[in-house]
Structure 1
């Protein structure tokens, strides 16, 4: 029986001109997509800001649109959504504030995740322990509260210069410390603004809390229940999602494709998918189906 080719073999079989085409970046495509994402946030936020009739109904969709800026931050760590380098960096740093995700730190963290994907000993995504293994742990994880608490502690630690993870380059640590201190200052100003107006509460804090569980499901699908092997076609999951979901997530539901060839920018991932589709080994028919299957596989208590 012939062994299935891994992601390296599949990519090596692509013609050089195809690989060159797949990795072509575009400021225009990136800026149009960014304008659409930010435009959706503004449209969903206006009824809340103006307290229009039924405005509370907009809080959850507003939060979902906000927290999925994570996928833009993620793409910017690879410098792929835009052709111009400084635009990638500016966008990544800009979304640090609403996500509580310091970008300079996240870039180092995420690139280490790509080097050691699903390795239980070296993947930084698993440094706090394995993904939820019981129904109770999953329910707690999906609230998003562990994320917010963990990132608040991380920003505070970074601001104090406590950066000791092995994947953090020494030369970038001063920038990470400055970034964390700027974020703390901005959060302090937001806190003070709440003394004058509840606007930040309703436009950011409450929506972010409501939207985070949807992002947790999305992120859990990327590698949850995938085997700890080196082949990106197997250790990463492609989830077949609607066009709206793919747009919201900057095409990152094509996640096995992204991990197989991280230099491919988000507009070209559907094209890469057509090349890799016959070789994908870990997929899900959608996020609700993934969540149901994941939950059904868990015991109610730890063994």
Structure 2
């Protein structure tokens, strides 16, 4: 037995050490066999299209109920919440598709990612480069771009974060800054990709401008009632979910300790495309959303952070604030 193999056998069940080599470097491939990883990483168009059409069906039904029942609040309000979260959680197919794991074709992944970003107010072309660095430098201060948005340190900051207010401000500033060609603070975007990112963000803003112009020309509040308001209602739910992924986890390069998996209800897992299985995703980003539950059963004994629901995670976050 090699020194690394002996080390793995001695550290089984110890999240802070599992997956490490004897020299201290992390090796995710120590936790799954090559055969298991190959089987779990297979991309299947049927799963991608089925999930996307299911998500769009939720949007269609809840959006219709919201539009048709405005004024009848016992129906309209729940429909608005579901519709709003459905719009906000289009971030999930964007996330899956920027990894190019939802569909077999990279072109299909890129097209669906851009469409999902349009609905969720993200830009997939920018986010692909941003997110690549997040995976490369997860939780490493000064390198992980997600850490550029500080985690809340007291209750007031937490409430602002959960409300989505800081997200809206950041997205508006970020989109217009990129559209203006100001990418100096974006080291994760190489020079060769900058023109494409700028062009993509400009096109996205142009679509929004067209939708606003159409609403104004028709004298109808379509843009505000059916996109802006619902997305604002859905954001707090998405913020609570995303805040749970790494808050309170370690600041090192070990995905077993720097990332949290959260066990939640099927509707949330469905609209989030299994993103709650987040440690599994960070261990092996090649595994598509539909295979993450199977990966979870194989990997969960090694996890340091396995939470029983998003309410508990957020209660724990609040309890730990200064």
Q: What TM-score does the superposition give when structure 2 sets the normalisation length?
A: 0.89
- Taking the aligned partners of 1:14 and 1:93, their CA distance within structure 2 comes to 32
- Pick the aligned partner of 1:286 from 309, 312, 320: 309
Counterpart of 2:209? 188
Counterpart of 2:106? 85
Say if 2:19 is the partner of 1:6: yes
Q: 1:76-134: per-residue Cα shift (whole Å, max 9, x none)?
A: 11101111111110110112222221111000000100000011111000123x31111
- Taking the aligned partners of 2:44 and 2:98, their CA distance within structure 1 comes to 16
Say if 2:182 is the partner of 1:159: no
- Taking the aligned partners of 1:274 and 1:41, their CA distance within structure 2 comes to 31
- Pick the aligned partner of 1:61 from 74, 82, 91: 82
Q: What SS class does the counterpart of residue 44 from structure 1 fall into?
A: helix
- Pick the aligned partner of 2:273 from 242, 247, 250: 250
Q: 1:14-35: per-residue Cα shift (whole Å, max 9, x none)?
A: 3322111011000110100100
Q: 1:134-176: per-residue Cα shift (whole Å, max 9, x none)?
A: 1110011111011111111111111111112111111111111
- Taking the aligned partners of 1:109 and 1:13, their CA distance within structure 2 comes to 27
- Taking the aligned partners of 1:101 and 1:148, their CA distance within structure 2 comes to 11
After superposition, the CA RMSD in angstroms is 1.6
Q: Is the 8 A contact 1:10 1:276 kept in 2?
A: no
Counterpart of 1:201? 224
Q: What SS class does the counterpart of residue 83 from structure 1 fall into?
A: coil
Say if 2:33 is the partner of 1:15: yes
- Pick the aligned partner of 2:53 from 7, 18, 35: 35
- Taking the aligned partners of 1:104 and 1:10, their CA distance within structure 2 comes to 28
Q: 1:177-222: per-residue Cα shift (whole Å, max 9, x none)?
A: 1111111211211222332211221111111111100000100000
Say if 2:156 is the partner of 1:136: yes
- Taking the aligned partners of 2:267 and 2:139, their CA distance within structure 1 comes to 28
Say if 2:118 is the partner of 1:105: no
Counterpart of 1:44? 62
- Taking the aligned partners of 2:317 and 2:246, their CA distance within structure 1 comes to 11
Shift of 1:51: 4.0
Shift of 1:10: 5.4
Counterpart of 1:127? 148
- Taking the aligned partners of 1:111 and 1:15, their CA distance within structure 2 comes to 24
- Taking the aligned partners of 1:287 and 1:15, their CA distance within structure 2 comes to 31
Q: What TM-score does the superposition give when structure 1 sets the normalisation length?
A: 0.94
- Taking the aligned partners of 2:63 and 2:31, their CA distance within structure 1 comes to 47
Shift of 1:50: 2.8
Shift of 1:13: 4.7
- Taking the aligned partners of 1:226 and 1:252, their CA distance within structure 2 comes to 17
Aligned residue pair count: 298
Counterpart of 2:318? 295
Counterpart of 2:43? 25
Q: Which runs of 5+ in 1 are unaligned?
A: none
Larger Rg, first or second structure (1 or 2): 2
Which segment is superposed worse, 7-16 or 82-91? 7-16
Q: Which runs of 5+ in 2 are unaligned?
A: 1-6, 12-16, 21-25
Q: Is the 8 A contact 2:90 2:117 kept in 1?
A: no
Q: Is the 8 A contact 1:48 1:202 kept in 2?
A: no
Shift of 1:60: 1.5
Counterpart of 2:298? 275
Q: What SS class does the counterpart of residue 188 from structure 1 fall into?
A: helix
